[in-house]
Structure 1
Amino acid sequence: MPARPSAGAGGGQRRPDDTKLALLFIFPAVIGLVLFYFWPLVRGIWLSFTSWDLLSPERFVGFDNYTRMFADPVFWNAIWVTLEYVVLNIGIQTVVALVIALLMQRLTQSTLVRGLILAPYLVSNVVAALVFFWILDFQLGIGNQLLEWIGLDRIGFFTTEEWAIPTIAAVNVWRHMGYTALLIFAGLQAIPQNLYEVARVDGASELRQFTGITLPLLRPILGLVLIISVIGSFQVFDTVSVTTSGGPVNASRVLQVYIYENAFAQFNFGYASALSVAMLAILVVVTFFQYRITRAGQTDLN
């Protein structure tokens, strides 16, 4: 009687099916995603079509909240203030982080230096905001005392309309630039060094190497950094809340603060939900165009 061929004859042993094990490990994450992301999203969209003050039952009002939102001057001011903050924060932060990453690559790759650069990111937003709020206080802040010592006038960094948003943006740039720099630094590490060697042999200057090699090959990581940073910047809340509370007047009342005030100060959860849906729509549109423009999912490395 001929022997039966072994399981590995002709093609090697069959790999075990790990699908069930994989699903077992994924299941807790899926539960968390549904409970803490998907369900609140659906619930928030539903509440945007209702009038609800937390104490009485929800009352369906259709598109009334959205009609009110489009006619609300404070909402449009909050959009403008948020955009101003996003442009300042992202513009300054990206440039500073790129410079820091390039300096780390050229001058030192010490783990200690990376840790020091990342240190501000480990400080909570509230603590960082309160420290800068004290440093830049108009009367007692050491920052204004230094300005006066060198012969300049004191500046109401958190108390004047023209300085409130730039100051808040600067505080958050200080806190996040190290983290952003390390992301860019990781992208720089992935660029083959032989490309720079060939460019030097051809006589390319440092500027030409930066514009012709570094920036094009950093495009995917820069696109990722911009998408993450823009989403985070639109959601700024704690720094504003503990320093200006949206003032003076509405100069720093960003959209997230306006949503909070409607929900937890006025208990108008229906209108606050409509504002949140508007922010979600803005972020979806901005992220889509950012992804398409930066082509963050593609790379020039072959």
Structure 2
Amino acid sequence: MAVTKSASAVPRRASGDARVAAAFIAPAMLGYLVFLVWPTLRGVYLSFTSFDLLSSEKWVGLDNYRRLVNDPVFWDSLGVTLHYVVVNIGVQTVVALLIAVLMHRLTNSSLLRGIVLAPYLVSNVVAGIVWLWILDTQLGVGNEMVEALGFDRIAFFGDAAWAIPTIALVNVWRHVGYTALLIFAGLQSIPSTIYEAGRVDGASEWRMFWAVTVPLLRPVLSLVLIITVIGSFQVFDTVSVTSDGKPANATNVLQLYVYDLAFGRLQFGYASAISVALMLVLTVITVVQYRLARAGQSDLD
């Protein structure tokens, strides 16, 4: 009889736990559905319509996608975005990995971690405005230093050759601390005994970095690359406050083009088509990165 009571109590307790868990999850799930799932589905639908906010949607089928394929501004914006992504991801990953390894091998100071993370606490808009002032051609402190070194002043945000690399490096400055801490967390999971064995065998720090750290850090690096690539393709605010697509569309990234189409020209259907195309591109890139890097496998297993 006691066994029967105990067995019946287990399902009731499990059911109660499930209700409590559902209550905690519900607010986040509601936000997820309202602010992510529904806008995504709505955007996919609008990509097949002609919509300008002033009239109801008109179904046009694949017309927006045909226009996209033949739109030179779209392809130019995609090229500009790819240029930004290559510079941003290349520099950010290398610098973040270097910072993380140095913190892991030399110090465990919480103060140092806070200093490294500090730029990430500044919003993109504020960071963009501050660097716009620092690198101003006439009054900027950065250009004062360039001139003091004997070089001509540089229009960092106004020259087609300098604008995208400058914006990319501004965002590297802001995000590199956060990326470094993600990598640092991955380094913490590598057993110290492996490094001790390497030292016993006479391996140098450089040799252990390539033979131990990088292979064992591969899953974390893969995750970091996926996150940063997705974020880089969606760059908007820094470009908007510093160059606004200028000069001559040299910084007209995809998100800025989508914004101009939707809120500048009220072409919400076509803007949605470009957004859906970008979502598909990022999905493919993410899957390819995940598979090539074997992100779901660890050499520690």
What amino acid maps onto 1:235 in structure 2?
Answer: Q
* Correspondences of 1:1-302 after superposition (within 5 Å): 4-6=1-3, 14=10, 16-17=13-14, 18-302=17-301
Deviation string 1:6-61 (CA, Å, 9 cap, x unpaired) is: 4599x9x8473133332332233222222111111111011111111101111111
Conserved? CA contact 1:129–1:239, under 8 Å: yes
Give, in whole Å, the separation in 2 of the partners of 1:7 and 1:195. 52
Shift of residue 5 of structure 1?
4.4
What amino acid maps onto 2:220 in structure 1?
Answer: I
Identify, as 1 or 2, the structure richer in helix: 2
Deviation string 1:255-282 (CA, Å, 9 cap, x unpaired) is: 0000000000111101100110011011
Aligned-pair identity (%): 62
Give, in whole Å, the separation in 2 of the partners of 1:193 and 1:7. 50
145-154 vs 226-235, greater mean Cα deviation: 145-154
Give, in whole Å, the separation in 1 of the partners of 2:130 and 2:27. 39
Conserved? CA contact 1:259–1:275, under 8 Å: yes
Deviation string 1:60-111 (CA, Å, 9 cap, x unpaired) is: 1111111111111010001111011011101100100011111111221111
255-264 vs 57-66, greater mean Cα deviation: 57-66
223-232 vs 26-35, greater mean Cα deviation: 26-35
Gaps of 5+ in 1: none
Give, in whole Å, the separation in 1 of the partners of 2:164 and 2:183. 26
4+ aligned runs moved over 3 Å, structure 1: 4-9
Give, in whole Å, the separation in 1 of the partners of 2:35 and 2:126. 27
Give, in whole Å, the separation in 2 of the partners of 1:188 and 1:8. 49
What amino acid maps onto 1:124 in structure 2?
Answer: S
Gaps of 5+ in 2: none
Q: Secondary structure at the match of 1:250?
A: coil
Conserved? CA contact 1:69–1:75, under 8 Å: yes
Q: Secondary structure at the match of 1:55?
A: coil
202-211 vs 166-175, greater mean Cα deviation: 202-211
Give, in whole Å, the separation in 1 of the partners of 2:143 and 2:28. 49
The size of the alignment, in residue pairs, is: 297
Shift of residue 250 of structure 1?
1.0
What amino acid maps onto 2:292 in structure 1?
Answer: I
Deviation string 1:162-209 (CA, Å, 9 cap, x unpaired) is: 100000000000000000011111111110000011111111121211
Q: Secondary structure at the match of 1:109?
A: coil
Q: Secondary structure at the match of 1:54?
A: coil
Conserved? CA contact 1:231–1:283, under 8 Å: yes
Conserved? CA contact 1:79–1:254, under 8 Å: yes
Give, in whole Å, the separation in 1 of the partners of 2:29 and 2:141. 50
Give, in whole Å, the separation in 1 of the partners of 2:286 and 2:5. 49
What amino acid maps onto 1:211 in structure 2?
Answer: W
